[in-house]
Every structure is written in structure tokens, then in C-alpha cells.
Chain A
């Protein structure tokens, strides 16, 4: 039944059919998001061994809660939100120092997409992320991964992390600065 699905069926349409009781079609969502969520988890968490189990739990949680998904909204930020919560919980277990309060959401800057950032710079930052992500605090790690590796926009990231748009911009800017500073220090 799943094989007969047109490939262009959107995530939201698939989710709607799962809500309607077509449980087999849920496999399509698993196929579409498994690698993305694993990559997100591997970059976000310092410990790699837990990712496989956490991703499985994310899909199970997605299935359990799928009737709470509004199919008029985009599916991608919704599943990434579930993943974010799961990875944050894992971080809390592993890193006692993980700080819950995000003071940068109290007063945030203006939201902006950096227009001066060329495609070449984006490729460069992706390379830097691969090299120096582990040394960054989780909140900076996460925005870099979502924006540069998962290629999500500011609005989607704001929905996933449930933070103001301006805070997304501020975190990305600080994350890039810290990433460059860390790498420069290590190369010296």
C-alpha cells in the first residue's frame, strides 16, 4: 500500500492519512525523517550511542501524538519540536550543567536573515560546524545544525525551539562568532 503512494505526497498529507487510520503509511514519514533526525541528534548530543534509541522514541512519540498535529501547519517543525524535546531530555540526563533558563529570550534582538552571507560562506560555515561543533554550548550547537545542516529557516527554528525570531538571529550570530573563535584558538 505504501509503495503505491505518489512520491510527491506532502508530509502533511501523509500525516492526515495516518490520522485517518492508515497506520502503514506512517512508515513513509519514518523513511523521510530518520536520517535527518539522526544527523540532528548526532550533532546536538555529545554522546553518539544514544541517538538510535532516541530517534526511535521520537517516531513512537510522533505516532502517539499525531492526532494533535494540525495538518494546516507544516509537519517538519512539528516533528523537529518533538525531537528537540527528546534531545534536550537526553542532554539533561547526560550533562548536569545543562542550563534550563534562556536569558536571551527575555529581550531579543530584531529578526534578520543575514543578506551578506553568500553561498560560499554558508559552505564554509558548514565545514566549520563539522570541525568545531562539539565545543559549543548546546543552544548554539542546535541553531547552527538546524539552520546550516537541516537548512531550516528562522521561522521554523523559532517554532521548533519556541523562542522569539529575534533570538534565533542573535543565537546564530553568536554561535558563528564562537565557532570561529574556538577554531582559531585551536589552530593557534
Chain B
């Protein structure tokens, strides 16, 4: 039952609201406001999706052109090196972008009606597939490499992170064989062009053998580097 007190409050709140509306203290936002809001959200979402795809594309491109994926074929030590050289910073930035994207998309019914994990996995799959396609099926990265200065800064920074060649002394080199003496290789280091390195291969390591190598081969070498050269734990023929 409605008491006189609640009836009075009821009238008060309604009257107060209508009074504020009549006075013009509160006004309806125009339809355009909501249209623009959705448009801004759409542009923001699309921009973040694009950035996320670009980052994944750069990661794939970087790993592929630096040949670091070769490390995965060098056993457990190769895996350790692969994890060490992987551009984790970019991956973390990308994952943060994906989480923000899912948060943005959760405003839409078709997204929030499903468990968040579905959106996360779906979005990540789309981003990885598109990033992979961009790297492998288009000339985008090569065109980008040729026109570095004409791109906006975040893109150049992303590229710089993944395209940094392995530093001298970290045990990785993409080299050309100049001599083969038993289990010892003399190679020209492609990073400096003039340096010659001595590569010592272990005698019983299936990942590092000279059996299929010839003079002039371009090889990817991973190992422990010191002043005398590299004690390799993996050698992979790149091109002949």
C-alpha cells in the first residue's frame, strides 16, 4: 500500500525531474551524438585491430627474415635461444591491445552474450591469420623496408624492434662458408662483411654437422661465441 509519505516522495521526484527538464537544466542529447559515439568506437576498434595485425605481422616477418625460426630445429638449446631472441615486448604490447579490444567490443550484444574466452581466442586467431597472410602473401613488409622514413613513428619503432640483427658476440650468425677443415668451418660473417669466424662443430651432434655443406653455402649458425669463434650447437643450410 502506498503511504502518504511515499506518495509525496513519488510526486516530488517526478516533479523535480520534469521541472529540471522544463527549465532546460537537462536536455536530450541529439541522435547525432549517439551515432558519432558508435562511429568513434568503430574507428577506435578498427585502428586497434589494424595495429594489432601489423605488430603480429612484424613479429612473423622479423623471426622469418632473421631466420630465428631455424633455432627451433636445434633441440632444447635451440629452443632456449629462440625464446631469448623472440621479440616478447611486441607480443606483450599486442596482447594488451587485444585485451583492450575485447573490452571495447564487450559493449556490443553479439560479444558480451558469449564467454569472454571465445572473443579472445577468436580475435587472436583472426589477428594471427591476417598478420601471417600480410607477411607471406603480400609485399607489404618489403615495401615498408624500402620506404622506412615515410611511415608514421609507431610502425617504424615496431619494425626497428623486430629487425635488429643479432649483435656480434651473441652466438648467432648468418654466414658464408669459406673453408671446411673436418669439424671446423671458416665463415665470412654477413653482419660485417669482412670478419672471418671459426666455427667449431661438436663431433656427435646431429644438429651441427658438415656432411651436407659446401664452400660458398650460406648457413645459419647458433652456438656459444667467444673471441676465437663460435662453438656451434646448430648449423642449418640456408642457400647454396
Which A residues contact B (CB, under 8 angstroms)?
Answer: 18-19, 23-24, 26-27, 30-31, 34-35, 52, 55-56, 59-60, 63-68, 105-108, 158-159, 162-167
Out of A52, A67, A165, which one reaches B31, CB within 8 Å?
A67
Contact between chains at A106 and B17 (CB < 8 Å):
no
Contact between chains at B116 and A66 (CB < 8 Å):
no
B29 to chain A, nearest CB (A): 6
A-B contact pairs, 29 of them (CB 8 A): A23-B18, A23-B21, A27-B17, A27-B18, A30-B13, A30-B14, A31-B10, A31-B14, A34-B10, A34-B14, A59-B13, A60-B20, A60-B26, A64-B26, A64-B29, A65-B34, A67-B28, A105-B112, A105-B116, A106-B115, A106-B116, A107-B115, A108-B115, A159-B109, A162-B112, A164-B113, A164-B114, A164-B115, A166-B115
Contact between chains at B13 and A52 (CB < 8 Å):
yes
What is the predominant secondary structure among interface residues of chain B facing chain A? helix
Using Cβ atoms and an 8 Å threshold, which residues of chain A touch B13?
A: 30, 34, 52, 55-56, 59
Using Cβ atoms and an 8 Å threshold, which residues of chain B touch A165?
A: 113
B27 at the interface (CB under 8 A from A): yes
Count of residues in B whose CB is under 8 Å from the partner chain: 28
Contact (A26, B112) CB under 8 Å given A64-B26, A66-B28, A67-B28: no
Contact between chains at A56 and B16 (CB < 8 Å):
yes
Which B residues contact A (CB, under 8 angstroms)?
Answer: 9-10, 13-14, 16-18, 20-22, 26-31, 33-34, 37, 106-107, 109, 112-117
B93 to chain A, nearest CB (A): 21
Contact (A59, B17) CB under 8 Å given A106-B117, A108-B115: yes
Given contacts A106-B117, A162-B112, 7 further A-B contacts (CB under 8 A): A23-B22, A30-B18, A56-B16, A60-B17, A68-B37, A164-B115, A164-B116
Which residue from chain A places its CB closest to the CB of B16 in the assembled complex?
A56
Contact (A30, B17) CB under 8 Å given A60-B26, A64-B28, A68-B34: yes
Using Cβ atoms and an 8 Å threshold, which residues of chain B touch A19?
A: 28
Contact between chains at B107 and A162 (CB < 8 Å):
yes
User: CA–CA, A66 to B17, complex, Å?
Assistant: 14
A131 to chain B, nearest CB (A): 22
B33, B109, B114, B116, most chain A CB atoms within 10 A: B116
Contact between chains at B14 and A63 (CB < 8 Å):
no
A31 to chain B, nearest CB (A): 6
Contact between chains at A26 and B113 (CB < 8 Å):
no
A-B pairs, 6 with minimum CB distance: A68-B34, A162-B112, A30-B14, A108-B115, A106-B116, A67-B31
Which residue from chain A places its CB closest to the CB of B37 in the assembled complex?
A68
Using Cβ atoms and an 8 Å threshold, which residues of chain A touch B106?
A: 162
Out of A52, A56, A68, which one reaches B17, CB within 8 Å?
A56
Which residue from chain A places its CB closest to the CB of B114 in the assembled complex?
A164
Using Cβ atoms and an 8 Å threshold, which residues of chain A touch B34?
A: 65, 67-68
B102 to chain A, nearest CB (A): 10
Which residue from chain B places its CB closest to the CB of A105 in the assembled complex?
B116
Contact between chains at A158 and B29 (CB < 8 Å):
no
Which residue from chain B places its CB closest to the CB of A19 in the assembled complex?
B28
Which residue from chain A places its CB closest to the CB of B10 in the assembled complex?
A34
Using Cβ atoms and an 8 Å threshold, which residues of chain A touch B37?
A: 68
A48 to chain B, nearest CB (A): 14
User: CA–CA, A24 to B14, complex, Å?
Assistant: 10
Out of A23, A67, A105, which one reaches B30, CB within 8 Å?
A67
